Every structure is written in C-alpha cells, then in structure tokens.
Amino acid sequence: QLQLQESGPGLVKPSETLSLTCTVSGGSISSSSYYWGWIRQPPGKGLEWIGSIYYSGSTYYNPSLKSRVTISVDTSKNQFSLKLSSVTAADTAVYYCARIRTKEVWFDPWGQGTLVTVSS
C-alpha cells in the first residue's frame, strides 16, 4: 500500500526558506501514470495546490506562488521536495504531499500533513 510522509522543520523564521521532503513508500515514484504534488491548508481554511512534479523533473506551479516555489525529485531516494522562499506569516499552514493521477486527475493518497509555522 502506497504511503507518503512529509518531513521538515515545523518552525521557520520570516524571510527564510521553508523546506519539506515527502518520502514515498510501498511504490515507485518513477511511475508514468502519476504526478507528485504539494498542497497546503492554512489553519481553519481551505486547500491550496502549490505545485506538482513528474518523475522526469517537469514541474507545474501555482501562479500565485510560482516566484517563490521550487519542487524537485530524487528518484534514487523515492522522494520529492518543496522549497518556498521569503516566507511570511501567511505561509503558516499544514503542508500535505500527495500522489496525483495524471489522466483522471485525482489526489490519492495523501500524507498525514505537517504543520509549518512562520514566526520569529
């Protein structure tokens, strides 16, 4: 059974870079049928797609975050990563990673999520 697990610091200072890694287990990240994505959810608010990556390295980013986001993949470790630069308090959220079916376009499964707080 495929599982995803987010990891990274839970506290980031304003203006610094948020870095998270998603480790995929129970299956290969190098599947042609899936993208791998990051989604976030500010406390008490809705879901926001951040960006997605294919195992080959091709990426799609939310235009509202594109200037600050970098997503990369390490197929040898079955991991993909998120970097969000110049963070502010508005970036405080639970960050989820998820597998995205390319053709039918659905997100499943999701990682358990990790809360990242931006504060000095």
Binding site for another protein (CB under 8 A): 37, 39, 46-49, 52, 60, 62-63, 96, 100-101, 104-113
Three-state DSSP at 67 gives helix
In the complex, the smallest distance separating the C-beta of residue 63 from another protein, rounded to whole angstroms, is 6
Q: Which is nearer to another protein, 55 or 110 (CB)?
A: 110
In the complex, the smallest distance separating the C-beta of residue 16 from another protein, rounded to whole angstroms, is 26
Q: Which is nearer to another protein, 32 or 120 (CB)?
A: 32
In the complex, the smallest distance separating the C-beta of residue 17 from another protein, rounded to whole angstroms, is 23
In the complex, the smallest distance separating the C-beta of residue 108 from another protein, rounded to whole angstroms, is 4
Q: Which is nearer to another protein, 50 or 118 (CB)?
A: 50
Cβ-count burial of 116 within 10 angstroms (0-12 exposed, 13-18 middle, 19+ buried)? Answer: buried
Which residues in the chain belong to E strands, given as ranges? 3-7, 11-12, 18-25, 34-41, 48-53, 59-61, 69-74, 79-84, 93-101, 107-110, 114-118
